[in-house]
Copies of this chain bind each other. A is one copy, B any other.
Amino acid sequence: MTRRHQQIAEALRRAIADGRHPVGSALPSEAQLADAHGVSRGTVRQALAALLAEGLIGSRQGARHLVLSTAPGQSLTELRSFARWARAGGHRPGGQVLDSARGTADGEEAALLQLPPDAEVLRVLRVRTLDGEPVLLERTVYAGWIADAVEELPADCESVTQALLDSRGPVFAHGEHHLDALAAGTVDAQKLRVRRGSPLLRVRRTTATAEGRPVETADDRYRPGEVVFSVRNSTQANPLARARAD
């Protein structure tokens, strides 16, 4: 049971991806779209707002919506798994669990996962490879309630996300990512085959279910040169924006 505005947004995304609305061209007017889909203009505007937020189209008062790009590439706004992302880029993903141990959450972990202090967690150290080359060292802390499902996975499991989706349904819905840079420590250097002190891109992330229940929190360190994170954004998504510094 999808909503009308979601269906219309999806239809427009497909039309743009297929080239029926090439980059640089104008979309039909809101009134025309409303007519074509048999809905009111408000519903069409709801659909267009989604594409606006994705940066797929632009708009100016008085002129029609313009197609700006065909499809967002790898983007943090899509919560994709490492394996999915790798395959989308034509690479062969791999992975290996180096360590896996149960323990109790420390203060920070408990806060991130919204667990009581000293709650049980599962810590996993995993290296991820792209075409055989190690590119990512992943330190993940899973909340206790999901730990069993994770421990049952094989050590060389290609996609934890996919495996959990199959066994437990859609577990990941929301994510918060913090990105910064840091120097490789001893373990990082050894596992990623770089020199100690060389720059790494760090992504600290926490993901949660649709209800907002945290599932895992992780510290991912990427070898530079192999992976770039992209974010596309827009001020027009919602009419906030506007400056006025005080």
Give me the interface of A with B, judged by CB distance under 8 Å. Answer: 3, 5-6, 9, 24, 46, 49-50, 52-55, 58-60, 66, 68, 76-79, 81, 83-84, 87, 111-112, 114, 159, 161-162, 165, 170, 172-183, 197-202, 206, 208-212, 222, 224-225, 227-245
Contact present for A180 and B227 (CB under 8 Å): yes
Contact present for A50 and B240 (CB under 8 Å): yes
Contact A239 B5, CB 8 Å, known A200-B199, A222-B181: yes
Contact present for A210 and B238 (CB under 8 Å): no
Partner of A83, one of B46, B174, B245: B245
Partner of A233, one of B55, B162, B177, B242: B177
Contact present for B224 and A236 (CB under 8 Å): no
Question: How many copies, total?
Answer: 2
Partner of A174, one of B172, B229, B234: B234
Contact present for B159 and A245 (CB under 8 Å): yes
Min CB distance A157 to B, Å, is 12
Min CB distance A194 to B, Å, is 11
Q: Which residues of B contact A244 (CB under 8 A)?
A: 111-112, 114, 176, 206
Contact present for B49 and A242 (CB under 8 Å): no
Contact A77 B233, CB 8 Å, known A200-B199, A239-B50: yes
Q: Which residues of B contact A209 (CB under 8 A)?
A: 58
Min CB distance A55 to B, Å, is 5
Contact present for A212 and B175 (CB under 8 Å): no
Contact present for A173 and B50 (CB under 8 Å): no
- In the docked arrangement, what's the CA distance between A165 and B243, Å? 8
- In the docked arrangement, what's the CA distance between A97 and B50, Å? 38
Contact present for A238 and B49 (CB under 8 Å): yes
Q: Which residues of B contact A222 (CB under 8 A)?
A: 180-181
